Amino acid sequence: MDPTLPVQTKSTRKYPRDVRLVQPAYGFAKRGTDLAVCLLLLPVVAVVLSGCAVLIWLEDRGPVFFVQWRTGKAGRRFPMLKLRTMVRKAEQHKEQHRDHSRLSWPDFKLEKDPRVTRVGWCLRRSSLDELPQIFNVLRGEMSLVGPRPTSFAASTYSLPQTERLEVRPGVTGLWQVQGRSDIDFDDRVLLDVQYIERRGYWYDLEIMLRTIPSILSGRGAA
């Protein structure tokens, strides 16, 4: 399939899907690339994380890392790591802001979230808060490229949406380079399914390279 083809939308999406068989060699190559890239970047990531940790602690004394249970491959839940960008106990205040979310439930995102700290805003804008997920990749819970894991359980998904649970979730993916967090869940699922049906080694590499300008632009990140 030509990668220049337009993205499918709700109105053009057809079921059943046209599946392209994925060779076993792709799985080995993908996992090998994940490990090689993460191990290569680990010394640099450790230095950056140390600097970010100091800034987080100086502004708002408390835990540096934020651990949130996410839904991964086959619906399995795992603890995803992030740098803490909000005030302590921010999750306890989520429900009271639910009606102001700019994305439809079960997604949740505020236009100007009062829970986000000043350092946290910078970390989100630069996507540095996602750096700890290198350890999720090393542990095999995530991949560098794949559908973004959701905070809500697989039981929240409709049956067609569960297709995104066929693969290991990613640090980045097709919807990050298309619109990042400004896309509603239903539309993100369509992009995730498009990725799953087209996935391959060179396609993964293309998405990783396209992630760089997306991060630098800060589009949809904060």
Whole-angstrom Cα distance, residue 190 to residue 9? 7
Q: Residues 144-179, buried b or exposed e (16+ Cβ, 10 A)?
A: bbbbbbbbeebeebeeebebbbebbbbbbbbbbbbb
- pTM summary value: 0.79
Strand partners, 21: none
- Of 188, 34, 40, nearest in space to 104 by CA: 188
- Return the pLDDT at 101: 53
- Return the pLDDT at 7: 43
Whole-angstrom Cα distance, residue 139 to residue 72? 13
Give me the residue label for tokens 């794949």.
Answer: 146
In sign, the C-alpha dihedral spanning 37, 38, 42, 48 is: positive
Integer angstrom CA distances of residue 219 from 37, 80, 116, 126, 149: 25, 23, 18, 10, 19
Helix-strand-coil percent breakdown of the chain, rounded to 5? 50, 10, 35
- Return the pLDDT at 112: 72
CB 140 within 8 A of CB 170: no
* Domain spans of the chain, in order of start: 24-216
Whole-angstrom Cα distance, residue 84 to residue 124? 10
Length of the chain: 222
CB 194 within 8 A of CB 9: no
- Return the pLDDT at 91: 63
- The tens-digit pLDDT sequence of the chain (222 residues) is 444 434 444 444 443 454 455 567 898 999 999 999 999 999 999 999 999 999 999 998 889 999 999 999 999 999 999 999 988 766 655 555 554 555 555 555 656 777 789 999 999 889 999 999 999 999 999 999 999 999 889 988 888 889 899 999 999 998 888 765 567 778 888 889 999 989 999 999 999 999 988 887 765 554
Q: Which two tokens stand for residue 51?
A: 């600097």
Q: What is the CA radius of gyration of the chain?
A: 17
